Structure 1
Amino acid sequence: MPKVNRRDFMRLMGLGTIGGAVFMSSGASAMPGKKETGDFYFLQLTDTHWGFSDPKVNPDFKGTLLKAVRQVNALKLQPDFIMFTGDLTHTTEDAAERKRRLLEFREVIKHLKVKRLMFIPGEHDASLDNGAVFKEVFGPTHYSFEHRGVHFLALDNVSDPSGSLGEAQLNWLGGELKKLDADARIVVFTHRPLFDLYPQWEWATPDGAKALELLAPFNNVTVFYGHIHQINAHVTGRIQHFSSKGLMYPLPAPGSQPKRAPVPWNPAIPYRGMGFRQVQTDLKDGEYVITETPLHRG
């Protein structure tokens, strides 16, 4: 029987404006005295931008997040947990308003049936105060946890206004990885991409290469991020990177226009760019190949 690796167990499927649903198998069912393992799935939601208000970009700016909550609650099989990968709120220089938006966002998502919710900030939430208000409302901006045999790492590459992880966090990451063997199943969450997707639009992490160097020795690493409001699949060495569509508005393809700006709302195709996403594994010529198909629906 072939050795199980990331390609064997991963399937992602985006639902409506939700972003990505990640299906995983971490091995056999739990045995007495051992950590719980087995199949599960989680949802990634990203870039909700609560507080955004431009009807030319999204006339339903007050309702999109509520629709996502209803869609998640309508799932017959509820996910084990939901990870929000940043830009929960839209930027404001007013610290009191920033806190108000974060608290309002928290109230909206309390209606989710899934009660295990986790968060990392985006630059809209945290770059103007080094994450101070975000930490007050949601807690640490980087952390790790285990779930059914998979090691999850949540990183903060936004609280530093430069978008860097910083030496302290890189040292923490190195310490976390020292606890794991080379075949450990590792999932990393970030807001910005760890690789240089398009630095001209700040679609990069200045010291992301150092994090990838720490992750490079491991055989089963997948990174999920937000920030770019669109689907992108990328590989660095053995590490696969997947972005998810945002909940408030799409952004143009990297470098496709002079300036980064939200794609205007098209009433003929409402919610385009916030539609469905499916990535699944297929066995071809003895290898599992991940394919991705975006589907746009109103």
Structure 2
Amino acid sequence: MMDRRDFLRLGALGGGAVFLSGLYGPAQADSSVDDFYFVQLSDSHWGYKGPANPEADSTLRQAVEAVNALPQPPEFIVFTGDLTHTTDDPAERRKRMAEFKRIVGALKVTQVHFLPGEHDASLDKGEAYQEHFGPTHYSFDHKGVHFIALDNVSDPGARIGEAQLAWLKQDLAQQPQNARIVVLTHRPLFDLAPAWDWATRDGQQAVDLLLPYPNVTVFYGHIHQEHHHMTGHIAHHSAKSLIFPLPAPGSQERRTPLPWDPAAPGKGLGFREIEAETTPVAYQITEFAARKG
């Protein structure tokens, strides 16, 4: 019988790019910890209208249908920010969030975790976001893995902030040294392209708090493309967008969306499965297109 891991490898050969993080901690014989997988979606920008995606009103629904069609349902789903597209109108902002929430309510999973992006939260410091989705930062545990959701967008200056850093320090202090830790965030915690707002001004302070723990992996969004980076032993993986792709970091003067291709409307868009192998610690990532091109 083919197990899930074999299925994922075959799926990867069929066109999805697989990246194995290379992050291995000491093997721990712990029968209470099971492997599992979850789905990461990011940057749906619900409410966007423009030439970068003339089909913006259907892309999110197509992603929901694609996730629901997976052969095995994920144990949970995470949305790593920019759920909606920015607007100066507080009423419109709330309308878009309500519409987004209604659409993703069709996902056939029991748990969905949300994070804000700067489009959701920077103009009102997360007020509307919290009304619809709850806290902007939090932690939870799943099958022996400790997940930490960080908010590096509610502050319009792209900072995590002293209060949240103190919360992170306290949260980490409750974890054993060999804890399996996954950090979820919107912006990269490292300086990928600061001139493009692809950085967190105090992100290094968060990384410094995480570095003493040998089993840490970060999943983020914001840059609308797949990207992999290491800070010491910590692997950082970005996700594709559900609305439009952006150019490679620093490859041009401005971070304008890549041109829409009507012959391949799903080009550069997608979501990912992440399989957690907890003993030893590793994450296998399988990229999926949001729709057929």
TM-score range, shorter chain: 0.7 to 0.9
- List runs of 5+ in structure 2 lacking aligned partners: 1-8, 22-26
Within a 5 Å distance, the mapping from 1:198-237 to structure 2 comes to: 198-237=193-232
Closer/same/farther in 2, CA of residues 82 and 19 from structure 1, 3 Å limit: farther
Instruction: Give the aligned partner of residue 53 of structure 1.
Output: 49
> 2:35 is matched with which residue?
39
**Alignment partners' CA distance in 1, 2:246 and 2:120:** 18
Partner of 1:147: 142
Kindly indicate whether the alpha-carbon contact (under 8 Å) linking 1:44 and 1:82 is maintained by their aligned counterparts in 2.
Answer: yes
The Cα offsets for residues 47-93 of structure 1, whole Å up to 9 and x where unpaired, read as 00000011x21121011000010011111211111010000000000
Report how far residue 278 of structure 1 moved.
8.2
Give the stretch that moved more between structures: 260-269 or 221-230.
Answer: 260-269
Per the TM alignment, residue 262 of structure 1 is displaced from its structure 2 partner at its CA by 0.9
- The residue type equivalent to 1:269 in the other structure is A
**8 Å contact kept, 1:20–1:277:** no
Is residue 71 of structure 1 aligned with residue 66 of structure 2? Answer: yes
**Distance of aligned partners of 1:21 and 1:248 in 2 relative to their CA distance in 1, 3 Å threshold:** farther
Residue 184 of structure 2 contacts residue 219 of structure 2 at CA under 8 Å; is this kept in 1?
yes
Counterparts in 2 of 1:138 and 1:168: CA distance versus 1, 3 Å: same
| Alignment partners' CA distance in 1, 2:111 and 2:156 | 29
Q: Secondary structure at the match of 1:263?
A: coil
1:185 paired to 2:188:
no
The verdict on how the C-alpha distance between 1:177 and 1:279 changes in structure 2, with shifts beyond 3 A counting, is closer
Deviation at 1:277, TM superposition (A): 6.2
Matches within 5 A, 1:61-210: 61-210=56-205
Q: Which of 1 and 2 has higher RCO (CA within 8 Å, sep 6+)?
A: 2
Q: 1:12-23, aligned counterparts within 5 Å?
A: none
Q: What letter is aligned with 2:182? A: V
8 Å CA contact 1:166–1:207 kept in 2: the answer is yes
**2: CA distance between counterparts of 1:272 and 1:45?**
16
The worse-fitting range, judged by mean Cα deviation, of 267-276 and 252-261 is: 267-276
Tell me if structure 1 keeps the 8 A contact 2:221–2:239.
yes
Say which SS state the counterpart of residue 106 (structure 2) adopts. Answer: coil
Unaligned segments of structure 1, at least 5 residues? 1-10, 31-36, 282-286
For residues 42 and 291 of structure 1, the distance between their equivalents in structure 2, rounded to whole angstroms, comes to: 11
Task: Kindly tell me the number of residue pairs found equivalent between the two proteins.
Answer: 273
Between the aligned residues of both structures, percent identity stands at 55
The code of the aligned residue for 1:181 comes to P
Q: 2:234 is matched with which residue? A: 239
Structure 1 270/133 Cα, relative in aligned 2: closer, same or farther at 3 Å? Answer: same
CA RMSD of aligned residues (A): 3.2
Structure 2 distance, partners of 1:115, 1:289, is 24
Residue 19 of structure 1 contacts residue 45 of structure 1 at CA under 8 Å; is this kept in 2? no
Alpha-carbon separation, structure 2, partners of 1:60 and 1:178: 46
**Does 1:248 find its partner at 2:243?**
yes
| TM-score when normalising by structure 2 | 0.85
Change beyond 3 A, Cα 1:27–1:190? farther
Q: Distance in 2 between matches of 1:61 and 1:125?
A: 17
Partner amino acid for 1:173?
A: L
